Chains A and B, each alone.
Chain A
Amino acid sequence: MTTMTETSPATAAARAMLPEHGTSLGVPNLKLAFWTFLGSECFFFGTLVATYLSYRGKSLTGPYPADVFNFAVTSISSFVLLMSSYLMVLALAAVQRGDRGKTLAWLFGTALFGLIFLGFQAFEFTEFYAKGLTLQKNLFGTTFFVMTGFHGAHVAVGVLWLLSLFVVAWVKGIPREKALNVEVAGLYWHFVDIVWIVIFTVVYLIPDPSKGA
């Protein structure tokens, strides 16, 4: 039998596990919360993608995907978004090193690349709209704009988040022990990127069965 008194080494070890000192799984609460949230987000985007797929090629009227898509433009914007994930990795590494200058540069760079992606998306939406594709026009318009729109909204939230971190880093700096705050922003940012890879594949790479111009 082990009697746990407050002086025993076992208690001391156990006390190191208290919420103030650590967690049961050894993962910070904030990080675990974000992984859980992202699991939920998988089902959110999964449902949007499922809706898109189940209506693929079922539009009763044009414009059809082949009528509006500009593959080159979307490929460039996708590349920019992917590269923003690289900058995000550099930003986190800079925070963990305590390198303030690089932190500022890479955080701003990540946000900027996100903004460029959003600019491309705005351009793309405007172009499609000019070609007659609206939210209400057909099932393709409905499912395409809502799915990519929600993704764009997620990118916009991410940009706002990154710029907020940038301001914090600028005004008072982000100390190494607070790198977790940047890490969870990175988790979110990478997730939003991965969602785009899925959407890009589903929407642009898999040939659409409906007839186009």
Chain B
Amino acid sequence: MSATPLTAHPAHAPPAAAPSGIWDWITTVDHKKIGLMYGVTAYGFFLLGGIEALVIRAQLVKPQSELVSAQFFNALFTMHATTMVFLAVMPLSAAFFNYIVPLQIGARDVAFPRLNAFSYWLFLLGGLLINLSFLLGFPPDGGWFAYASLSERMYSHSPAMDYWVVGLLVLGTASLAAGVNFIVTILNMRAPGMTMMRMPVFVWMTLVVQFLVVLSFPIITVGLIELLLDRTVGTNFFLPLHGGDPLLWQHLFWLFGHPEVYILILPAMGMVSEVLPTFSRKPLFGAPFVVFSGILIGFLGFGVWSHHMFTAGLGPVADAAFSATTMLIGVPTGVKIFNWIATMWGGRLRFTTAMLFSVGFIALFTIGGLSGIMHASPPIDLHQQDSYFVVAHIHYVLFGGAIMGLFSGIYYWFPKVTGRLLDEGLGKVHFTLQFVALNIAFFPMHFLGVDGMPRRVFTYDEADGWHLWNLVSTVGAWMIPIGLLVFMYNVWWSARRGPRAGDDPWDGASLEWAISSPPPVHNFDAIPNVPSDRPLWDQKYGDATLGLDRRDPHIHLPPNSYRPLIAAAGVTTVFGAFLIRGHDIYRHLLDAPGSTIQSIPFSSLFLATVATGVIVLLYGLYTWFFEPVE
């Protein structure tokens, strides 16, 4: 087999009418471009969710504040949580799955490139749909957990919760498609020699996350469909009036909701497990233990959901069982923390910005983990449930944990993606501001919670004694955007003027550092041979060779396609039709309060929209399946 240059094969040269500009982004099936689109879109939603948080904190800065109404405050905390969970942290992780995983396993793309584009477009459309509610004046206001029967039509007349349900159904479909895609990619597209135990820990954590997605999202999908049918067709799933049980919703939600917590944190754990060894110049301490701990967390994550329901009155047996499993899941998490610390022990540490964010992750996540273990005890949880103590816990885990880990990943892989280094000085300013600010914002919430301040209240009285720590918390929260502004300036400046990164700026061990920055469209000139779990170190410092100096004579890349976008638009239209139904019911209930949902006829606009969506979906799918890809 001779090393033949690409250009010698006209059949594999770029087609004459290669799409360009915006059309190329709309039709792209390249995992790197889709990863960038995920990242940019998710960052936009992250800012939106952040603005919602800042308004919440501004409202709570003093007692009896009238900055926003109680009603709008409900919408703010509902949409803040929904946005951060589904539109910021999950898709920011997806950006890294897309961009980094194929590079780390030595593949040219994901297993199903068009399905990948389909996932992105569904994510974008779902995010827009759920936020459309703000423009139409009906932002969801039932909490990100949408507890029945509060979320049922009889207590939430307006279409607000319809937007929440429909938006999440679309986003869930996107996640399921991506989950299948990445499981197949990781299991089946590994380069020769890349055994499972040679995979980078980030790839492993991605794999665990995708299994969690594929197995937990169908549960919430059924729950959402049942709630949607209750609200729009008049079924009785969670209506006590007809014998339905609101507790069933809680079970379905948290059966999904707790695996979801690990869906949010495991990717960050994977990133930290890449960054720490690189900047400690040591392999990850006990890497197999970190991998198996991640798998164990994935399994146990399905067995702890009722610790969200200790106050629901499930009885001492259930409470004791879920208390035990919850304490048990702390063990593999603790194993990981000690492995990360042991990785740094005795290493030649380089405190780059990426490293600082990873170390910050360990510290802050440990605080969040410890308060989590406290909640595992039902008697303690009974006091802390629904108090600001829980708000403090979740923000240490998700901001101190997931977001810090994601920023670590951004600083680590930015040079690979853009070919230029982020400014380290500005990066350290960003890290310091963010680390200090989030502790000022979230640590006082522990005090407020123990002092009895309930979460989700829109205001409080001076006599409650909560003014001081709310003031401190608000000051901290408003400091967070200062760090983010520094970060955004850094990205904007460095992407164009930053120093050239070269292929391997950090002296990395995994495959993505063996190719140019940014990577060529086909990723690898030749598919590498992987000799160990740190292939590039073996090539640089050992006598192994990855075989990347060849060039495959046949590199096949799939052509661009707009079909995934059409199919995604079809799915969104079918689900979106139920928003029309929600508005119809709301108008009808305003005119004739007390009428039953089944007595309200389906409008022709609703039926026409469903039909249109189905036709568009079928058109998209059929042209997709019969599209020539050779």
Which residues of A line the B interface, CB within 8 A? 1, 3-7, 11-12, 14-15, 17-20, 23-25, 27, 29, 32-33, 36-37, 39-41, 43-44, 46-48, 51, 54-55, 58-60, 134-136, 138-139, 142-143, 146, 164
Contact = CB atoms under 8 A, between A and B. Distances in A.
B81 interface: no
Contact of A138 (B181, B187, B192, B243): B243
Contact of A60 (B193, B225, B242): B242
B222 A51 contact: yes
Contact of B188 (A3, A25, A54, A139): A25
Nearest to A26: B188
B460 interface: no
Interface string B444-457: 00000000000000
B248 A54 contact: yes
Nearest to A147: B222
A40 B184 contact: no
A23 B180 contact: no
Most buried by A among B108, B112, B527: B527
B233 A136 contact: yes
Interface of B: 1-3, 107-108, 111-112, 176, 179-181, 183-184, 187-190, 192-194, 214-219, 221-223, 225-226, 229, 233-237, 242-245, 248, 252, 526-527, 529, 543-545, 547, 550, 554, 556, 596-598, 622
A147 B375 CA distance: 36
B301 to A, nearest CB: 14
A54 B250 CA distance: 14
A136 B234 contact: yes
Contacts of B596: 136
B540 to A, nearest CB: 15
B214 A6 contact: no
- Give the top 9 A-B pairs by smallest Cβ distance, nearest first: A14-B192, A44-B218, A47-B222, A23-B188, A43-B218, A142-B235, A24-B190, A136-B234, A40-B214
Nearest to B527: A18
A48 B243 contact: no
A20 to B, nearest CB: 6
Contacts of A55: 243-245
14 contacts: A12-B1, A15-B527, A25-B188, A33-B112, A36-B179, A36-B183, A40-B180, A51-B226, A60-B243, A134-B598, A136-B233, A139-B242, A139-B243, A164-B622
A1 B544 CA distance: 8
B1 A6 contact: yes
Given A33-B112, A51-B222, A59 B243 contact: yes
A68 to B, nearest CB: 17
A47 B218 contact: yes
B242 A47 contact: no
Contacts of B219: 43-44, 47
Contact of A24 (B183, B187, B545): B187
B176 A40 contact: yes
Nearest to B220: A47
Contacts of B245: 54-55
Nearest to A61: B242
Most buried by A among B214, B222, B622: B222
A12 B242 CA distance: 68
B192 A20 contact: no
B598 to A, nearest CB: 5
A37 B108 CA distance: 23
A43 B215 contact: yes
A51 B107 CA distance: 42
B539 to A, nearest CB: 11
B3 A6 contact: yes
Contacts of A11: 529, 547
B187 A32 contact: yes
Given A36-B184, A138-B242, A142-B237, A44 B192 contact: no
Contacts of B235: 135-136, 142, 146
Most buried by B among A24, A32, A134: A24
Nearest to B2: A6
Contacts of A24: 187-190, 194
Contact of B236 (A17, A19, A40, A136): A136
Contact of B529 (A14, A33, A44): A14
A4 B547 contact: yes
A41 B219 CA distance: 10
B33 to A, nearest CB: 19
Contacts of B183: 32-33, 36
Contacts of B229: 135, 142, 146
Contacts of A29: 111-112, 184, 188-189
Nearest to A7: B1
B1 A15 contact: yes
B187 A25 contact: yes
A133 to B, nearest CB: 13
A44 B221 contact: yes
A45 B97 CA distance: 28
Nearest to A3: B545
A139 B236 contact: yes
A136 B180 contact: no
Given A20-B554, A51-B237, A33 B111 contact: yes
Contacts of A46: 218
B608 to A, nearest CB: 20
Contacts of A5: 547
Given A19-B107, A32-B187, A37 B180 contact: yes
B222 A48 contact: yes
Nearest to A49: B222
Contacts of B597: 136
Contacts of B176: 40
Contacts of A36: 179-180, 183-184, 214
Contact of B243 (A3, A33, A58): A58
A204 B180 CA distance: 33
Given A19-B189, A33-B181, A44-B219, 4 more contacts: A40-B176, A40-B179, A43-B218, A136-B597
A32 B188 contact: yes
B547 A6 contact: yes
B154 to A, nearest CB: 14
Nearest to B185: A29
Contacts of B189: 19, 23-24, 29
B243 A17 contact: no
B243 A40 contact: no
A154 to B, nearest CB: 13
B598 A136 contact: yes
B215 A32 contact: no
Contacts of A12: 1
